[in-house]
Amino acid sequence: MMYERDVLAGNWRRPLKGKIPQVPAEPDLVVEDAESGFCGAVVACDKEAVTLEDRFGRRRLFPLDPAAFLLEGKVVTLVRPAAVSPDSRGPRRSASGSIAVEGLRARVARESRIYVEGVHDAALVEKVWGHDLRVEGVVVEYLEGVDHLPEIVAEFEPGPERRLGVLVDHLVAGSKESRIAAEVSSPHVLVVGHPFVDVWQAVKPSTLRIPAWPVVPRGLPWKEGVIAALGWGVEPADAWRRILGAVSTYADLEPELLGPVERLIDFVTDPAQDD
């Protein structure tokens, strides 16, 4: 992803000089309000304002001011979408590649849930699969690690109509995560994972215009090691802003993450639960 400038440099929220691209505020477009940092998907737009909904379901209304939003790390001006005849267009696709549901009203949340390890995992899942999750009424929550996963599962009390899907980082043979996951045994719980040390690695290097994710020596903090090797010179939170901002669709992610997330969504939305 090529940025108009370094979004992590000082005064990066200040509007750029020159022409700012105008982007239609289409439903489910994920943008960030440049002033407040609120990030969410477009759920409504009129001639004066746009409503964004974040991954927690919180909604905020923002005026359609010039250069007021960030899209994939670039300053943009959101505009009201032009009216389009339904017969003149094909089916619109969501960021996950599924056929988008027009005029979506999020269904009442299921009792079933998907748990992920941390806030970065949750943000990435929301950005790519947010539309699908709202269609299905699935809530994603994060665990802040998996050390106490068996206790968390027991407290959740999974059942036939209360399924639990868990996405685990670094779920490879012999890892601590694999040993903890093996302690969970229930037909109503599905624990899957990806092989990456951190979900950052699930974003394709080409998406960030880097040759590869750096190899960090064992014993060093992974995120800080990556930032140092890439020469970004920022804090992890700012690095994550850059990484997440570069992702727009499932094509920006590695298959090792795509498959597990799709499995979890299928598991917690099994039609048998609705009988």
Domains of the chain: 1-90 (no CATH), 113-203+247-274 (3.40.50)
* Amino acid identity for residue 108 in this structure: V
pLDDT computed for residue 215 by the predictor: 94
Alpha carbons 262 and 96: distance in angstroms, whole number: 9
Asked whether the beta carbons of 139 and 115 are under 8 A apart, the reply is no
Place of tokens 């959740």: 156
pLDDT computed for residue 14 by the predictor: 46
Alpha carbons 205 and 214: distance in angstroms, whole number: 10
pLDDT computed for residue 211 by the predictor: 92
Give the max Cα distance, the chain: 58
pLDDT computed for residue 205 by the predictor: 93
Place of tokens 């699969």: 129
User: What are the pLDDT tens digits along the chain (275 aa)?
Assistant: 344 444 444 444 444 455 889 999 988 788 899 988 888 888 888 888 888 887 666 788 899 999 899 987 889 999 988 765 544 455 566 665 655 555 555 555 678 999 999 889 999 999 999 888 888 888 888 887 788 899 999 999 999 989 999 999 988 888 888 999 999 989 999 999 999 999 999 999 999 999 999 999 988 999 999 999 999 999 999 999 999 998 988 889 999 999 999 999 999 987 555 44
pLDDT computed for residue 105 by the predictor: 53
Alpha carbons 245 and 30: distance in angstroms, whole number: 9
Q: What is the DSSP string of 159-203?
A: BTTB-EEEEETT--TTSHHHHHHHT---TTEEEEE-S-SSGGGGB
- Coil vs helix vs strand at 119: helix
pLDDT computed for residue 238 by the predictor: 92
